[in-house]
């Protein structure tokens, strides 16, 4: 079993504005930099054998805040990216609902489906687990990938804040929620 500390990147200006980011590469804002530091502090006493992140700056910079004080490098993986929302990226939620009435009841975005994103992220996590059997690995990704993996692990329907971490186990091609060794609570 490989333990994955699955974290969401810190906040960007687009998060604060409720703009769809997807694959658009946006930097952390001041609050996001603080959230990355808070994540590093939260995980300071945890064993971390390796650090992976989406290749987008907001995830990489969040991961570096945890990795660098430990002397670890961050391995960027495109498979950990947020869902690609296509032409919807950069739009505010209300702009999407005005321009795309089907968004009220249908899927969001016109490029990558939720299922495609979920498959891509799961493949990345399975590879990480294969490369670190029995390890404890930090993976910094995005809200969509986290929701998808938490759904698979039985923690569906939860809001995921920027800088939040969830503990999951990857074993035999599956993911499941686990408790942290530190305090016996689920990190949700």
Please write the tens of the pLDDT for every residue from 87-111: 999 999 899 989 888 877 777 778 8
**Residue 157: per-residue pLDDT:** 65
Across the chain, mean pLDDT equals 91
Which fold does the domain 2-83+113-177 belong to in CATH?
Answer: Rossmann fold (3.40.50)
Beta strands in the chain (DSSP E): 2-8, 50-54, 74-77, 136-141, 165-171, 174-177
Pairing type for strands 74-77 and 50-54 reads parallel
**Residue 183: per-residue pLDDT:** 39
Predicted TM-score (pTM) of this structure: 0.91
Cβ neighbours for 49, distance < 8 A, ≥ 6 positions apart: 132, 135, 136, 137
Percent of the chain with pLDDT over 70: 93
**Residue 153: per-residue pLDDT:** 83
> 């687990």: which residue's tokens?
129
Please write the tens of the pLDDT for every residue from 145-185: 999 998 888 777 667 899 999 999 999 988 888 865 443 33
Structure tokens at 61: 């910079």
**What average pLDDT score do residues 134-154 get?**
92
Which comes out higher in pLDDT, residue 77 or 103? Answer: 77
- Cα separation, 147 vs 160, in Å, equals 7
**Residue 46: per-residue pLDDT:** 96
**Residue 179: per-residue pLDDT:** 62
Please state the domain extents for the chain.
2-83+113-177
Structure tokens at 173: 């091609």
**What average pLDDT score do residues 24-50 get?**
97
- Write down the H helix ranges in the chain: 13-17, 30-42, 57-67, 93-99, 114-131, 143-153
- pLDDT band for position 63 (cuts 50, 70, 90): very high
Kind and range of the H or E run holding 101 = none
Residues identified as active-site:
9, 82
**Residue 159: per-residue pLDDT:** 78
């Amino acid at each position: 079993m490989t333990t994955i500390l699955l974290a969401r990147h810190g906040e960007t200006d687009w998060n604060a504005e409720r703009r769809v980011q997807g694959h658009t590469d946006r930097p952390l804002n001041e609050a996001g930099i603080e959230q990355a530091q808070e994540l590093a502090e939260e995980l300071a006493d945890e064993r971390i054998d390796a650090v992976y992140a989406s290749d987008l700056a907001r995830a990489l910079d969040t991961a570096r805040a945890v990795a660098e004080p430990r002397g670890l490098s961050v391995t960027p993986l495109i498979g950990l990216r947020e869902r690609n929302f296509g032409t919807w990226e950069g739009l505010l939620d209300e702009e999407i609902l005005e321009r795309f009435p089907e968004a009220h009841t249908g899927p969001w975005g016109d490029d990558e489906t939720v299922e495609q994103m979920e498959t891509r992220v799961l493949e990345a996590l399975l590879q990480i687990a294969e490369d670190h059997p029995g390890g404890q690995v930090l993976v910094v990704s995005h809200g969509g990938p986290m929701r998808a993996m938490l759904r698979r692990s039985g923690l569906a329907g939860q809001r995921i804040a920027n800088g939040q971490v969830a503990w999951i186990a990857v074993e035999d091609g599956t993911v499941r929620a686990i408790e942290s060794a530190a305090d016996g609570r689920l990190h949700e």
